[in-house]
Amino acid sequence: MIVTKRYLPRRTVLRGLGATVALPFLDAMAPALTAVAKTAAQPVPRMGFFYVPNGMFLPSFHPAGEGGTSFELTPTLKPLEPHREKIVVVSGLSNSGVVSTNEGGGVHTRAHGGWLSGVLPKRTEGADLRAGKTIDQYAADKLGADTPLRSLELTIDSNYQVGNCENGYSCAYINSSSWLTATTPLPHERDPRVVFRRLFGDGGSVEARLEQMQTDRSILDSVSDSLGRLERRLGLRDRTTVEEYLDSVREIERRIQRAEEHNAATPLPEVDQPAGVPDDYEEHVKLLHDLLVLGYQADVTRVSCMQMARELSGRSYPAIGVPEGHHTVSHHQLDQHNIAQYTKINTYHMTLFARLLQRMDEIPDGDGTLLDHSILLWGAGMGDGDHHTPYDLPITLAGGGCGTLQGGRHIKYALHTPFMNLGLSLLDKVGMHVDSISDSTGRLADL
């Protein structure tokens, strides 16, 4: 290696007509023996929150015993076996702040709308919404200050529903898991093409950029001149890193284009499905996950919140042998068939999450991997879906948090320990101190 005081800024991008492609971390961004290297080489933390609806059958999720490192993975957690040393399973936490003793129905909405804030949503069908600022947005106050996108909100389901979705509660409470303020729910995007343009677009309206994409076909074509100039300044390893990263960008473009072509050729009857949204659930999830990985890798965003489905989801999963609706089998009433189908759905969702972890653990990031430098929280707003209670929530943490989170553990806290205590503890790990959130009583010990 030639030691030099010349280096590439961390925010180096490839520019072209209507496009900006941020780059992953490269050796050239942290040259040896310079003052810049000492700061540039520091890993940056990422955070992600992943919501699954309708609770779970808890005996299929929570490991037996009192915690520790020798726990046995339950059926729902089994897909995480390859990543065992980089996960923490948490038991005993409850989100009691969303419990209402006098409002009757609406439990799904309250569990979803207050999942990351611990605040009981205001019962309204109008515009006078009120819930609470969410943990992810506290993280974005710190981590999003230096990135092009403060945070990225994704969903698999349509977020077009308005009015009353459950017992007088606005649909806004289940459309959004992320709230910027107590009165500002953030929209979640389901169309991979729009997400792609948010990550790599450069000015202009979304509509104009989408039209340009249909003409240009590839965003990388428009930055080829910029790429050529950059590669002349890079060493062999950096060129390989850039090429592999851009190959991933190109492949995602192709998958989006294939989805658009398929939708145009075989449109679903009586379904309002925007172009670019695959009609296959698994392909849709994988596309959004891969886009999120690109956003993390290029440091376009460091905070995300994704809904694997919205609360009250009645989606069926015939591809895994579950023709019944998710919400239907969640009301299992201890019927063994319903429990088996319910657990299949939860395990399938976890399998897709495990694929995301694998992708992130394969991508180098400074002295580790993307997963090493991330904290991802996977969970539901309800514990027991049959009883609609936000108690003993199913929670899995993944990643190393830049050395702040030790994996390979099951931690069991006293039942009804506030879920918001976990929120405070995770925020501390990314350098964002918050005194309290909702019903929090302090930080979690041993996390």
Residue 322, number of CB atoms within 10 A of its CB:
20
One domain, residues 184 and 207: no
Report DSSP letters for 349-396, one per residue.
HHHHHHHHHHHHHTSEETTEETTTTEEEEEEES-SBTTTT---S--EE
The pLDDT of residue 193: 85
Give Cβ neighbours of residue 264 (< 8 Å, ≥ 6 apart): 275
Note the pLDDT tens digit of each residue in 67-99. 999 999 999 999 999 999 999 999 999 999 999
β-pairing verdict for 395-398 and 374-380: antiparallel
One domain, residues 87 and 186: yes
Asked whether residue 292 is domain-assigned, the answer is no
271: which 2 tokens?
Answer: 């379904």
- For residue 373, the one-letter residue type is H
Note the pLDDT tens digit of each residue in 107-130. 999 999 999 999 999 999 988 999
Asked whether residue 133 is domain-assigned, the answer is yes
One domain, residues 102 and 153: yes
C-alpha to C-alpha distance for 79 and 197, rounded to whole angstroms: 32
One domain, residues 131 and 230: no
Structural domain range at position 235? 1-42+193-276
One domain, residues 114 and 163: yes
One domain, residues 88 and 166: yes
Report which secondary-structure segment, H or E, holds 152. Answer: strand 152-155
Q: What does the mean pLDDT of the chain come to?
A: 86
Asked whether residue 349 is domain-assigned, the answer is yes
One domain, residues 144 and 205: no
One domain, residues 263 and 376: no
- Say what the pTM is: 0.84
pLDDT-derived band at 243 (thresholds 50, 70, 90) equals confident
Note the pLDDT tens digit of each residue in 175-225. 999 999 999 999 999 999 888 888 876 544 545 555 555 554 566 776 677
Mean pLDDT of 325-346: 97
Secondary structure in 3-state letters for 61-81: CCCCCCCECCCCCCCCCHHHH
Report DSSP letters for 237-286, one per residue.
HHHHHHHHHHHHHHHHHHHHHHHHHHHHHSPPTT----TT--SSHHHHHH
Give Cβ neighbours of residue 166 (< 8 Å, ≥ 6 apart): 105, 106, 108, 109, 174, 312
Mean pLDDT of 315-328: 97
Give the residue, 263 or 22, on which the prediction is more confident: 22
Asked whether residue 290 is domain-assigned, the answer is no
Asked whether residue 296 is domain-assigned, the answer is no
One domain, residues 186 and 202: no
Helix ranges, 59-183 (H): 107-113, 135-143, 172-175
What CATH number is associated with residue 353?
Answer: 3.40.720
The pLDDT of residue 219: 66
- For residue 196, the one-letter residue type is F
Instruction: Report the domain count for the chain.
Output: 2
Note the pLDDT tens digit of each residue in 247-262. 777 777 777 776 666 5
- For residue 275, the one-letter residue type is A
One domain, residues 23 and 104: no
Looking at the chain, the whole-number percentage of residues with pLDDT higher than 90 is 65
Asked whether residue 281 is domain-assigned, the answer is no
